[in-house]
Copies of this chain bind each other. A is one copy, B any other.
């Protein structure tokens, strides 16, 4: 979806890398995160300052091959001293990859225990707090709320195109990713902000074991793209389409308007309703515009995914997210053509139903 913006930017974010550059494993041997390109570190700090969505002072920055790798590195770092597998929980609906990634190697360090709201085991645990949440877009806080818990905050969507920036986040361990910030999923670059030095060192250790660092080429490119985003915020009123967040926020707004119209007309579907909030970045109140639509099927349709597949709409069933299959998750970030086709097909479902009713009458 953000492709169009980057096309308009022309050569501003073009990277040129010569054959002899970035050959080494090392980026900055003296840094705790020795494989982090200093240029990327600088741009991460700058962008958080420009947007005001996270504190970086006194935090260690660790780069990862996307935030998925950082999530696994965090699990390793937080559980490596545990005598028995630590429970990993997240309030349902949770990101569908969490259970799969957590349990894929049957680790003796940690174990997926499902919905944090139903969690009643004793012993230490790790709670994953995704805010705004994937799949439903709501702002979240931890729910287990007892001692012995360690929180991992996945803040992939805490950016002003999606949700009001209410306060600079300052949690112990926060994860971000370029793919949701600027749309460059193919780079596979994420970063963690980590308060505790020992935990940060263990996260670095895991990434060393897992992939001996992170692509320098993509780090360089990520630095350039983040710099362009920060730069764009300085040259025009943030709301103008010349700024990256202006462009992306307007795109999200018009998509959500189209989707809500189609859903309201349908009579079959419903979407979450969000409370508007004051955004310090935009300096105005707005209603969250999540990267996913969390659609609920009514009318007695139990398996929403199959129902929509019958109408040539591919979605992901609620059961992967720990809830009922009457829900599905739909990406709001696809290319214009795909998104418009989706809204068109969704609108047709209503027409067909009404036609059937009229036919019965």
A residues in contact (CB < 8 Å) with B: 2-4, 6-7, 9, 11-20, 22-25, 27, 65-66, 68-69, 72, 76, 97, 100-101, 104-109, 179, 183-189, 206, 209-218, 221, 224-225, 228
A189: nearest chain-B partner, CB-CB = B215
With A19-B6, A212-B66, A218-B218 known to touch, is A106 a contact of B107 (CB < 8 Å)?
yes
With A72-B210, A186-B25, A186-B216 known to touch, is A14 a contact of B16 (CB < 8 Å)?
yes
A27: nearest chain-B partner, CB-CB = B186
With A11-B18, A212-B188, A215-B65 known to touch, is A23 a contact of B183 (CB < 8 Å)?
yes
Asked if A221 contacts B17 (CB within 8 A), the reply is: yes
Cβ of A106: which chain B residues have Cβ within 8 Å of it? 107-109
Asked if B11 contacts A14 (CB within 8 A), the reply is: no
Cβ of A225: which chain B residues have Cβ within 8 Å of it? 19
Cβ of A183: which chain B residues have Cβ within 8 Å of it? 23
CB of A358 to closest CB in B, whole Å:
40
With A105-B107, A107-B108 known to touch, is A23 a contact of B215 (CB < 8 Å)?
no
Asked if B6 contacts A100 (CB within 8 A), the reply is: no
Asked if B12 contacts A209 (CB within 8 A), the reply is: no
22 contacts between A and B (CB under 8 A): A4-B20, A7-B19, A9-B19, A13-B18, A14-B18, A15-B15, A16-B16, A19-B225, A22-B184, A23-B183, A65-B188, A65-B214, A68-B210, A76-B104, A104-B209, A105-B105, A185-B212, A188-B214, A189-B215, A215-B218, A217-B221, A218-B218
